[in-house]
Amino acid sequence: MTVTEHPALTGFDEIAPDLADLYRDLHANPELSYAEHRTAGIVAERLTASGYAVTSGIGGTGVVGVLVNGDGPVVLLRADMDALPVREDTGLDYASTETAVNADGDTVPVMHACGHDMHVTCLLGAADLLAKARARWSGTLIALFQPAEELGDGARSMIDDGLYDVIPRPSVVLGQHVMPGPVGSAFASPGTAMAAARSVQIRMFGRGGHGSMPDQCVDPVVMGASTVMRLQTLVSREVSPTNPAVVTVGSFQAGTKENVIPDEAVLKVNTRSFDQHVSDQLAEGITRIANAESEASRAPKPPEITDLNSFPLTVNDPDATRRTLDALRGLLGADKVLEIGPVSGSEDVGDLATELGVPLAYWFIGGFDVTDGKPLPSNHSPQFAPVVRPTLDTGVATLVVAALEWLGDGS
């Protein structure tokens, strides 16, 4: 039996062509974090047509639809909507050619390089099927479409903007993410699921001058390079080998010409860990090392360290996650649904659950054809593009079956 032959997916074949067209449209028209106006408008229109009570503009561009269907549990299904400043290189006929102005005022390319277009489409499809199948369940269904996951604060923005004043308290928060993996598979980590992450900018100050007279200058390039190398010792020499951690300097900008020593250097640093104590340890270490290297270089003033973004540790409720995975095994087959360890990516979906102290079950679905043996593009890659179908079939089906597992019996 294919996923679309499951009793809960009755009617999917009729809406599948429209959903596929919607996915291609969203992929071709991506929007950056907090700029998801077109996407949010499509979401609100479709949820309304499916019979949901819709509230838009929560946390900027967030949208929620609520469908009350008698007494029973309240189940929240979540999808994220934002795209990334990445130039697409998939060669698809629906590839994005969009650009946008980012928060710094720069014009950047925009691409759905993390699958949020698939997330939106799958949840809209699932919300429609569940609305049409109200005889099968009882309770309240919430379809939540979140902005700015890529910044790590979209869920928090919705919460702070009164999300839980306009929707009922959920019994459980459910969500999924498309990943590099075989299409038709699902996998999740009960317990700690995704890393805590923090990004900071370090602005280091020197004293510029001619490259032939370094003794008259304070070279921020050398200062910054020393900082980059020293930061690597946080993991290799300060964090316990039993605690995984990552420190990445993803950006180093300084100077304009080979024979001019610049006045400053700017580093952007990202950390990942699976333990809050380790996350705090890395943050302290970054500040300490940046200040120490600045002082050792005779910098005219201490560095400026600015927080860019942070993501909470994503922790799945073990019981809720295993219950959900068992339901997905009934859909996909036991060999296609796996328990895995934590992954080093980061998410903010957990804020929706921890704010109320309710369980979270967050899983991944594969979205790629692995039969050709080619390496799979990672999330955030310019080549990231799940196969439309059957990824769409699987993504709609997993949301429907997971929701029905938690909603009341309508019989």
> How far from chain centre, in Å, is Cα 300?
39
Tokens of 128: 């429609």
CB-based contact 114:179 (threshold 8 Å): no
- What contacts 174, CB < 8 A, 6 or more positions away? 75, 76, 77, 78, 324, 360, 361, 362, 399, 402, 403, 406
Catalytic residue among 82, 264, 275, 405: 82
Place of tokens 């077109």: 38
Residue 82 is a catalytic residue: yes
Q: Which bin fits 405, alpha (ψ -120 to 50), beta or left (φ > 0)? A: alpha
Q: Which of 276, 257, 254, 249 has the alpha carbon at shortest distance from 266? A: 254
Q: Which amino acid is at 29?
A: N
Residue 89 is a catalytic residue: no
CA–CA separation, 156 and 162 (whole Å): 10
Catalytic residue among 80, 98, 117, 149: 149
Q: Which amino acid is at 402?
A: A
φ, ψ of residue 103 to 5 degrees: the values are -65, -20
> Which residues does the annotation mark as catalytic?
82, 149
